[in-house]
Chains A and B, each alone.
Chain A
Amino acid sequence: MANTSMVKNEMPAQEAEIRNKNFLEVALGYTKEQAIDEAKRCLQCKNKLCINGCPVQIDIPLFIQFVADGDFEAAYQVIARASSLPAVCGRVCPQEIQCEAKCVRGIKGEPVAIGRLERFVADYHITHGAEKQIKPISNDKKVAVIGSGPSGLACAGDLAKKGYSVTIFEALHLAGGVLVYGIPEFRLPKAIVQKEINSLKELGVDIQTNMVIGKTISIDELLNEYGYEAVFIGSGAGLPRFMNIKGENLKGVYSANEFLTRINLMKAYEESGATPIQKGSKVAVVGGGNVAMDAARCAKRLGSEVTIIYRRTEKELPARLEEIEHAKEEGIKFKFLTNPLEIVGDEKGWVKGISCQQMILGEADSSGRQKPIPIEGSNFSIEADCIIMSIGTSPNPLIKDTTEGLATQKWGGIIADERTGLTSRKAVYAGGDAVTGAATVILAMGAGKNAATAIDEYIMGSREG
């Protein structure tokens, strides 16, 4: 029996006033019954528009059909053909602009909750089906993967399944990339990331942490001295941008990366944590993306009063819809059409406020977005003892600077073939944020998988490297 409800099954979540004081996961996931009920909302359309909305082309109607039939493990196998990180993507994909945006049911009413179903299936597999991975027979060929974010993990996983000896080199002391140092526990439990990493290890992937490629070992050394036949660069876009306004180096001003790294990677939110964090009483977060939402919601959980400052309107916020809604429910305030001019400090060098300017939206620019323009004489200030700058990141120049002949864009992105990930250097591939600039988990994962295919073809001799 089809389910004709116009709205999605709600996903159970912790109450806003409780969760904004802890770091436990906010959304709790569907029960079996809810999942089956939601799956029945799918019309099993002939032209499957939803699939076109998914960057890795998961066969969405097929997996949903299995969910409706109660065969969750079969559903998982469908997803796993296209995605290496379903438990992650089901949680963090911006579904509303991808698969769900294309869903036919969304024309009248809400689309099928594809993301929530994907999450349910992946979690079900982890708790019920998770058989140990079997280490494939080795083909004695070595590939090096730089960075352990979604692109690197996906590339390593696919290559390992084909029999390659893969080593992941990670600069930090923990593998996972943004999934461990950026996205907070309450949105993506670290145990889930750890499970993915453990299953890579079962496949025989060797993960070497504390290895800064370009410093500890160079790419040329990997290829020429260490015997790797190809290298995949998945080093992300971790270099934080600042606004270059006055007062940005005052005490109490963080980049979102620093704030989130202290909290997530270094566990500064735990009483026993060895790494310090400034717990402001009034925190201002500048920016409007996922990163800004995460920083704001972390600050809230540390007990602060939090305001997000964004220079356009709510409609333009680049963050995922769910994060914006959750942030609001948790009591985070928004100041839209507001642009920071200067950060003001006290005589001891601590931040005490931020002076801003009111904006209005003008004409659309080349990107099609309306450009915010300042209103003369509208200056005002916001009191804050901690400010988190969350206005974007770009690729870290470290690898570019230490790898001769690796071509990059002016803004730092590595130039790589869109389909294969091949860079200007023979046998060197790249993908994920290092190529595109800050983007999404699913795109990074997809790029890692594509590069794995290309690397395999190159090493096996059927493609130019």
Chain B
Amino acid sequence: MFRIIKKKELNPTVTLMEVEAPLIAKKAQPGQFVILRTDEGGERIPLTIADYNREQGTVTIIYQIVGATTRILNSMSVGDCLQDFVGPLGRPTVTEGKKKVAVVGGGVGCAIAYPVVKKFHEQGTKVHAIIGFRSNELVILEEEFRSNSSKLVLMSDDGSCGEKGLVTDALKKLIESGEQYDEVITIGPLIMMKYVSMLTKQYGIKTVASMNPIMIDGTGMCGGCRLSVGGKTQFACVDGPEFNGHEIDFDEAIARSDMYKEFEQKKQDEACKLYQKEVS
């Protein structure tokens, strides 16, 4: 069973969990993800493998509470078991052959960016981390990023921490100041990755974006996770989740991501009620 052995709130909406899953821990690579179900009858949702411990056989996930399933997940405690936990899925991040990279993370996307940054740092690649949050109380993993990168730029929308502004502002500044990156890796909200990709295109810097479309099986069986990349249809769960940012049709991806908005709202309201009942 997939027992939760650690749970830590990183900020009011983002939580870290360590889950017992020895087979997945043995194989996991940065950039890969798992699909989980909290309970029988639950929805299958994908979450990135934020970290893993091969010896202890554990996998770390970091999730933002955005809807019904993440809310139910967050109502579980240490010692509880997840119904299903499958992975590692997707292709790992290609980290070889680069001298210097910039990793641009936004919001909970930083949880996904962190293992990538760490891997680069460990293998001796120079890595600049640019991480952005709406405001100070939403900052996650700042220390981890600092100790695993040769430069950390923290940005906030409201200036309550780091510099005020967007991650694209920081990236542009670094590039303009003469930093030469072999590659930019961007992970975060679709709209942010779209603008990062537009920016790096101007400078001709290869860019990889980590996509997070709606998924079900995660094995290439349903096609629900499809995206247009360079005019071709790709399945994010098996061909990705990382793709060439200059070729992704972000507008289509953004449109597809709100396909179930109404349904999700209804389920979230139900989960809220249920959760409140349990608490009171």
The interface of chain A, by Cβ under 8 A from chain B, is: 171-173, 181, 209-212, 215-217, 238-240, 242, 244, 248-252, 254-255, 257-258, 261-262, 266-267, 272-276, 278, 348-349, 396-398
Q: Whole-angstrom distance from the CB of A226 to the nearest CB of chain B?
A: 11
Tell whether B221 is near chain A: CB-to-CB under 8 Å. Answer: yes
Tell whether B223 is near chain A: CB-to-CB under 8 Å. Answer: yes
Given contacts A171-B217, A274-B42, A349-B252, could you give 4 more A-B pairs where the C-beta distance is less than 8 Å? A212-B219, A215-B88, A240-B223, A266-B216
A403 to B222: give the CA distance in the assembly, Å: 23
Bitwise, B20-47 to A at CB < 8 A (1) or not (0) is: 0001100100000000010001111000
A397 to B238: give the CA distance in the assembly, Å: 9
Greatest chain A CB density within 10 A among B37, B89, B221, B238 is at B221
Tell whether B86 is near chain A: CB-to-CB under 8 Å. Answer: yes
Taking CB atoms and an 8 Å cut-off, the chain B residues in 194-227 that contact chain A are 216-217, 219-224, 226-227
A226 to B84: give the CA distance in the assembly, Å: 22
The interface of chain B, by Cβ under 8 A from chain A, is: 23-24, 27, 37, 41-44, 68-69, 83-89, 216-217, 219-224, 226-228, 233, 238, 249, 252, 255-256, 258-260, 263-264, 267
What are 5 A-B pairs with beta-carbon distances under 8 A? A258-B223, A258-B224, A274-B267, A276-B267, A396-B219
Which residues of B have CB within 8 Å of A255?
222-224
Contact A216 B221 (CB under 8 A): no
Which residues of A have CB within 8 Å of B27?
215-216
The answer to whether residues A249 and B233 also contact, given A261-B217, A396-B221 and a CB cut-off of 8 A, is yes
A252 to B228: give the CA distance in the assembly, Å: 16
A244 to B232: give the CA distance in the assembly, Å: 8
Q: Whole-angstrom distance from the CB of A462 to the nearest CB of chain B?
A: 34
Contact B238 A276 (CB under 8 A): no
Q: For the complex, would chain A's binding face be called helix, strand, loop or mixed by DSSP majority? A: loop
Contact A257 B219 (CB under 8 A): no
Q: Whole-angstrom distance from the CB of A227 to the nearest CB of chain B?
A: 15
Minimal Cβ-Cβ distance residue in B for A172: B217
Which residues of A have CB within 8 Å of B87?
212, 215-216
Which 9 pairs across A and B sit closest by C-beta, in order of nearness?
A349-B255, A258-B222, A276-B263, A276-B260, A210-B86, A255-B223, A238-B221, A274-B43, A173-B84
The answer to whether residues A216 and B256 also contact, given A172-B217, A274-B69 and a CB cut-off of 8 A, is no
Contact B264 A349 (CB under 8 A): no
Q: Whole-angstrom distance from the CB of B190 to the nearest CB of chain A?
A: 13
Minimal Cβ-Cβ distance residue in B for A251: B259
The answer to whether residues A275 and B44 also contact, given A215-B27, A215-B89, A251-B259 and a CB cut-off of 8 A, is yes
Contact B220 A398 (CB under 8 A): yes
Q: Whole-angstrom distance from the CB of B270 to the nearest CB of chain A?
A: 9
A249's contact among B23, B68, B226, by CB below 8 Å, is which? B226
Minimal Cβ-Cβ distance residue in B for A349: B255
The answer to whether residues A238 and B220 also contact, given A349-B252, A349-B256 and a CB cut-off of 8 A, is yes
Which residues of B have CB within 8 Å of A267?
41
A239's contact among B42, B44, B86, B220, by CB below 8 Å, is which? B220
Minimal Cβ-Cβ distance residue in B for A255: B223
Q: Whole-angstrom distance from the CB of A146 to the nearest CB of chain B?
A: 12
